[in-house]
Homo-oligomer: A and B are copies of this chain.
Amino acid sequence: MPAVKFIPYNKTIEIKTGTNLLTAADQGGIYLEGDCAGKGTCGKCRVRVAEGEREVPTEAEKKHLSQAELDAGWVLACRRTVRGSLTVEVPLIKDAHSRKTSLAGGVEILEAEPAIQKIALVLERPTVGDQKADLERLLAATGHDQLQISLRELTALPALLRNNRYQVTVTHDHHRVISLEPGDTSDQLFGIAFDIGTTTIVGSLIDLSNAAVLAVAATTNPQNIYGADVISRITHAARVEDGLNQLQTKVIEAANQIIRQLLKQTGVARDRVYEITAVGNTTMSHLFMGIDPTYLAPAPFIPAYSRALEVEATKLGIKINPSGRVIFLPNVAGYVGSDTVGVILATNMDQRQDNCAAIDIGTNGELVLAAGGRLMACSTAAGPAFEGAEIKHGMRAAAGAIEAVSYNDNRLEIKTIDDAPACGICGSGLIDAAAALLAAGLIEPTGRFVNPEENPERIPEQFRNRLRPSQVGYEFILTPAAESETGEDLVLTQGDLRQLQLAKGAIYAGLMILLKEAGMNAGDLDQVLLAGAFGSYVRKKSALAIGLLPAIAPERIIAVGNAAGDGSRLALASQTIRKRALELPAKVEHLELSTRPDFQDIFINALNFQGI
């Protein structure tokens, strides 16, 4: 079998002739970027064939790679078949999480009130006059004599007691014994809160005794090899043999990787982590639990379940204390998941008395409106533009991404993350760029670039050589090849603008429908909360300028960080908040937008680029 060596990882795998190179990388545990699930359309799985036979470039490769790159051996992994041994250079992934603050969230947990309790005991020894069985002796001493216990813990109990002079620490959750440990370990009580995003998975290690966040770690959701968005993942689960299992395995592996990292970083022992909470959209929840999500994709969009699921970690392959559990918070509907429940918890929207909207912008935008005691939510298909996908030079918010564009004094100013040489544009940069070019008069309110041939006078002179024809309409050079890291012009295309219009129109229209159902106008909103990493970086002025948000005083727009993840942390640290989470789905009115004629009408009106 041919051998494929991946550098700089120095990992070599043997693989059958005829295997796709993207598949080979996956089997070797090598992560490649990508948004299109190997269809050849996103152009992101680029690798360089350093040694081994070269092939004639495919059309997709010609489209996504320059001649210089093709000459240097760059290929798209998804377009290449392994026919003989190869050495393949993998570009190092830029840390997608250099903007770390967005992970940590904005909420401080004030009071630890964990669901799990530890009790350190020294038991009376049995005698012929006191023949209570070991378990009954133990539980009587805890004051919780109805606790359930696993066979694994029970069979270890007799020797545990006798080898440790009857000194033992019982960890329990008021229903069952989670762990029996020799001696007094009552000062070691930890949990991990996960936010399972379609794109990014974040885990936080929490000391349950004081609710302190000890460490945060994140990784790309490796399910992306099967597609960037939830629909392609559902399709993979539904249509590919073993697809559901593949998707589950990926996310579980990623969670375990985060756990390893958190433990290493803090020195906490694996067995001392007793509980995990998780939030995610409804599809992520299904895939994490290994539950068939098939019927989430077609109308009427029915999930297999919506309640919270509590499952033994070992059943999922999650590596914490072997009797530990995972609690995935409940979903509201097929496209309003426990991530939205997390947002509501973290922002206290279920307890606020004023009028407030929360928007969590991702591939799907989830919107919540709290109005006069009512809670309403909907989901709207924004598409992946805000995450940089399906944008020609789109990328996630990582070093070198254009994150801010401003137009002042007839000049464009462009800023990249970490001030690194530009290599692409992320969501906040995309909105800024559109707002700046609108301000510069280069974009019509309809979203079309001004035609420089028809209306040359409308193009300020300093931009004339930056607006040029492309395959569809025109494109604007944000960073010329000479200044970019990639050595090519970084452009904003007409197609990119169209993606942005669809995305922002969907969010806007969703919010309008919620307000309409509540009998309110945008002006009635006391606050608009922007959740998620994207919400932390989008510039309010630009968001208002392109009509992503209705006309609201900017000071009422507040970024709340990773509120979904905060909700997961809160539900881990506080029983009271967890209880609120479990009750939320029954309190939230879900509006299904997809079949409402009024939504379609508002959506089409909202496509234009201007405050509406």
Contacts and interface: CB of A to CB of B under 8 A. Distances in A.
A292 interface: yes
Interface stretch (A189-197, A296-304, A507-515): A296-304
A11 B607 CA distance: 79
Given A131-B334, A294-B159, A154 B305 contact: yes
Given A155-B290, A292-B158, A305 B128 contact: no
B592 A302 contact: no
A151 to B, nearest CB: 6
A488 interface: no
B292 A126 contact: no
Contacts of A299: 128
A569 interface: no
A304 B155 contact: yes
A595 B127 CA distance: 11
A291 B131 contact: no
A306 interface: yes
A590 interface: yes
Interface in A98-121: none
B291 A155 contact: yes
A206 interface: no
Contacts of A303: 133-134
Contacts of A135: 304-307
Most buried by B among A136, A291, A309, A311: A291
Contact of A592 (B128, B136, B149, B158): B128
B595 A128 contact: yes
Interface in A285-322: 289-292, 294-295, 299-307, 309, 311, 315
Contacts of A134: 295, 302-305
Nearest to A592: B128
Contacts of A162: 295
A125 to B, nearest CB: 9
A445 B290 CA distance: 74
Interface string A455-473: 0000000000000000000
A37 to B, nearest CB: 22
Contacts of A331: 133
A142 to B, nearest CB: 14
Nearest to A293: B158
A188 to B, nearest CB: 26
A248 to B, nearest CB: 10
B128 A594 contact: yes
A131 B301 contact: yes
A333 interface: yes
A592 B127 CA distance: 11
A60 interface: no
A158 B295 contact: yes
Nearest to A149: B305
Contacts of A128: 299-301, 592, 594-595
A306 B155 contact: no
A339 to B, nearest CB: 16
A70 interface: no
A437 interface: no
B127 A315 contact: no
A263 interface: no
A27 to B, nearest CB: 25
Interface string A148-161: 01010011111100
A172 to B, nearest CB: 16
A453 B305 CA distance: 88
A289 B126 contact: no
A132 B156 CA distance: 44
Contacts of A156: 292
Given A151-B291, A155-B290, A595-B128, A302 B133 contact: yes
Nearest to A148: B310
Contact of A302 (B126, B301, B302): B126
Contacts of A306: 132-133, 135-136
A308 to B, nearest CB: 11
Given A151-B290, A154-B291, A302 B334 contact: no
A131 B311 contact: no
A293 to B, nearest CB: 8
Given A157-B304, A305-B154, A315-B151, A333 B292 contact: no
B302 A131 contact: yes
Contact of A136 (B131, B289, B307): B307
Contacts of A126: 300, 302
Contacts of A309: 151, 154
A244 to B, nearest CB: 8
Most buried by B among A127, A157, A290, A304: A304
B595 A133 contact: no
Given A136-B305, A159-B294, 16 more contacts: A126-B302, A127-B300, A128-B300, A128-B301, A131-B302, A131-B334, A131-B592, A133-B302, A134-B302, A135-B305, A136-B306, A136-B307, A151-B291, A151-B315, A155-B289, A158-B295
Question: Which 6 A-B pairs rank lowest in CB-CB distance, beginning with the nearest?
Answer: A135-B305, A133-B306, A128-B300, A133-B303, A155-B291, A126-B302
8 contacts: A128-B299, A128-B592, A131-B590, A151-B290, A151-B315, A154-B305, A155-B290, A159-B294
